[in-house]
Structure 1
Amino acid sequence: MSTPIDTADEVLSGEAVAIDVQPLGFFMRALGALIDMVVGWVLFALFLWLRIWLLGVGVIASSIDGILNITAMVVCFVIVPIVMEVALRGRSLGKLAVGGRIVRLDGGAAGFRHAFIRALIGVLEIYMTFGAIAILSGAFTARSQRLGDLVAGTYSQRVRTPKLLPLVPVLPPALAGWAQIADVARMPDRLARRISQFLQHAEKMSPSARARVAQDLVAESSAYVSPQPAAHPEQLLIAITVLRRDRERRALAIADARTEKLTGRRVGV
């Protein structure tokens, strides 16, 4: 049975901390794509009107009419989307309206190559089929990815998410004595992430699921904790998190002190 901590599509920082990112929902993404598609067709209509007007006044010859049509399609349906997405760092008018942004699958910023692939395939799946292929693709993918996203390795990330208050665990008083002699070794990133997420979502879980998950996490972490105290599983997980946090802070402080010491010596020389 899955729990709130069993998320497979999360983005992790270098310290195995889950970053709160969410893919944009299917309907919101479809709305953003519709806005972008309307903008593209409006620009193309303006190009056609300008072409007809220039032909009427004799500024351009009718022999290059086909070339102008192709140029207008390339500019409106390929170049403009690429420029918008690169200039706005993964966003467009439609994505600005619905609060989305195109990012890589690992959460990094998308670049020109991603925008080029998405725009090129978008001509087929959005403009030539009026969004039919994009809708089918988005409806059957976990992150509502259209065909261009699947090829480019991107998805639309929600950027209008409420800021979560950071969880600052405090060492339980009952484990203060144990903490003085405890040895908490480095844990696998996945286990450390699961403990952190459990402590964040524990209050939202049912009592039975909360107790079961806490006990399972304590059992998994027992190989990295010595000695094992006789304590409530959830309190023990909090204590482990506090000790790991304090150890990492001490390690960073020692590294900073060494850096300052070496820098001072070099400057003196």
Structure 2
Amino acid sequence: MTATTPHPAQLQDGVVIGEGVLLETRPASVASRLLGAIVDLLALFVLAVVTALVLGGLDVTVDAYAGRILLIVLIVTVTVVLPTTVETLSRGRSLGKLVAGVRIVRDDGGPITFRQAFVRALVGFGELWLTLGSVAVICSIAHPRGKRVGDILAGTYGSRVRSAAPVRTAAVMPPHLAGWATHADVARLPDGLALAVRQFLGRAALLHPGSRAELAQRLAADLRPFVSPQPPPGTHPEAFLSAVLAERGRRETLVELERVRREQAEAVLLRRLPHGVPDPDA
């Protein structure tokens, strides 16, 4: 089976994940990432000044050997430990990236992990601190996605998060599959598969006809193990995908409505006065 190829015009709007589906995300510009780095440096400077004032107020004296150890620990903490911790806990958003509207994500568009944050910070010690950021800037300008060396080795890139949110339309139930879908048993779909199907249906009209048909068949084959009974013979793969997503949406809406109704009923019971106590509002 040959790999599917998105329409060339799509590559300007996002990135393609492993399922061959385009995600609504765009690489951040070098200027945005540079702004984020400057804000992070200012935050580190403020933190260093506050730390120095606190330590100065303690009036603690250390010898030269202990001072060298303390300096090494401080350098490792600032250049490796702190960036790794912040990016891991914030899923790729430091203070500077938050201001610049940038998030560090994996090449497939997912949130970064500790390993990727650690690789970025470790490589960043050389390309950011030892070279004053010159290597990172040159690499970001030359790379089509604006990656620095740490991003290339970690498999990450900077993504814009302040672009206008795309309008997402719900999947439409094909009329001839409505009866089948209502009685079908649809198991919980893996998040990656559900996202792939949803993105494919939203972008199907922009795909090359051959790639569109191939990807629809592939996704339908991945989806069939989660559906029982199977759709009627001769069902078009895209109709099958749309019917499953539409039915999942309908059932999730019913579950949510039932949850809201139950919470409202419980709230009424909680507000009800004990038996025998007159209600002033009655």
Normalising by the smaller structure, the TM-score range is 0.5 to 0.7
What one-letter code is carried by the residue in structure 2 that aligns with 1:125?
E
Kindly report which structure 2 residues correspond to 1:44-55, keeping only aligned pairs within 5 A, or say none.
Answer: 44=48, 53=56
The unaligned stretches of length 5 or more in structure 2 are: 1-6, 178-195, 217-235, 250-282
- Cα deviation for residue 25 of structure 1 reads 1.6
Name the SS of the counterpart of 1:4 in structure 2.
helix
Aligned to 1:4: 9
What one-letter code is carried by the residue in structure 2 that aligns with 1:4?
A
Shift in alpha-carbon separation, 1:245–1:75, aligned structure 2, 3 A: closer
Give 1:197's match in structure 2, choosing from 187, 190, 203.
203
Shift in alpha-carbon separation, 1:117–1:196, aligned structure 2, 3 A: same
Shift in alpha-carbon separation, 1:157–1:128, aligned structure 2, 3 A: same
Q: Is the 8 A contact 2:26 2:160 kept in 1?
A: yes
1:39 aligns with 2:35: no
CA distance in 1, matches of 2:11, 2:125: 37
- Cα deviation for residue 149 of structure 1 reads 0.8
- TM-score norm. by structure 2 comes to 0.57
The unaligned stretches of length 5 or more in structure 1 are: 181-189, 202-212, 225-239, 254-269
Name the SS of the counterpart of 2:9 in structure 1.
coil
Identity of aligned residues (%): 29
1:133 aligns with 2:138: no
Kindly report which structure 2 residues correspond to 1:45-194, keeping only aligned pairs within 5 A, or say none.
Answer: 53=56, 57=59, 59-167=61-169
RMSD, aligned CA: 4.2
1:243 aligns with 2:243: no
CA distance in 2, matches of 1:133, 1:162: 32
- TM-score norm. by structure 1 comes to 0.60
What one-letter code is carried by the residue in structure 2 that aligns with 1:217?
P
- Cα deviation for residue 41 of structure 1 reads 4.3
- Cα deviation for residue 135 of structure 1 reads 0.2
- Tell me the number of residue pairs that the alignment of Structure 1 and Structure 2 aligns: 205
Q: Deviations over 1:159-192 (max 9, x none)?
A: 2232211246889xxxx9xx89xxxxxxxxx9x9
- Select between 58-67 and 114-123 the one with higher mean Cα deviation: 58-67
Shift in alpha-carbon separation, 1:76–1:169, aligned structure 2, 3 A: closer
- Cα deviation for residue 155 of structure 1 reads 0.9
- Cα deviation for residue 3 of structure 1 reads 4.8
